[in-house]
Amino acid sequence: MKAVMILGLAAVIPLGAISPARSEGTPAKVFACSIDKKMVSVTSDGGQLIYHYGTAGHDEMTIVGVPSAGNIFQMTQRYAGMEYQLRFKNGEFSYIVYEGEGNARVGAAGTSGLVVMQGGRRISDKSCARFTQLAMPDDALHIPADTDAYSAM
């Protein structure tokens, strides 16, 4: 009987409406992908978004995004489909994780990756090994909007 109830609920509640389960104190994944032999991810913990870059076992760089410090920005735009990005700033460098939805009508596949900029100059643009969604948290609205000069797309 319990199995029937669970299956019935799954049919009524869309999967996207369910937050990922996590234990207390464990950061929620917002974005995670592998690029070459490195991992790039963004986690949400205690209302903060945190950028991680390194190997699976070791962060080589971590940036805690603090809107009041001016080191995190978000952008949503439309091209072939919706595009979402988060930019973390560390000195003169910007690290932009992005997701661009595909659009079957125009033959555009989804894309995701990491763009690195020094000042306003793009110095690296790498795609994720597999398409990865950028799951913007509900409280992301407090993050300032970015300018087109820092668009990853």
Predicted local distance difference test score (pLDDT) of residue 4: 36
Residue 16: band (very low, low, confident or very high) from pLDDT cuts 50, 70, 90:
very low
Predicted local distance difference test score (pLDDT) of residue 24: 56
Q: Give the residue from 60, 3, 36 showing the smallest Cα distance to 125.
A: 36
What is the per-residue pLDDT across 26-48, written as a single tens digit (0 to 9) for each?
Answer: 889 999 999 999 999 999 988 78
What is the per-residue pLDDT across 88-132, written as a single tens digit (0 to 9) for each?
Answer: 999 999 999 999 988 888 888 889 999 999 999 999 999 999 999
Predicted local distance difference test score (pLDDT) of residue 13: 27
Q: What's 63-129 look like in SS3? A: EEECHHHCCEEEEEEECCCEEEEEEEEECCEEEEEEEECCECCCCECCEEEEEEEECCEEEEEEECC
Euclidean distance between CA atoms 107 and 142, whole angstroms: 34
pLDDT above 80 for 149: yes
Q: Which residues of 36-51 are buried (b: 16+ CB within 10 A; e: fewer)?
A: eeebbbbbbeeeebbb
Q: How far is CA 120 from the centre of its chain?
A: 21
Phi and psi torsions of 4, nearest 5°: -65, -40
Average pLDDT of the segment spanning 68-77: 93
Q: What size, in residues, is the chain?
A: 153
Euclidean distance between CA atoms 10 and 14, whole angstroms: 7
The mean of the pLDDT values for the chain is: 82
Geometric angle at alpha carbon 100, from 94 and 102, rounded to 5°: 165
Beta bridge partners of 48: 45
Computed on alpha carbons and rounded to an integer, the radius of gyration of the chain in Å comes to: 17
Predicted local distance difference test score (pLDDT) of residue 138: 73
pLDDT above 90 for 52: yes
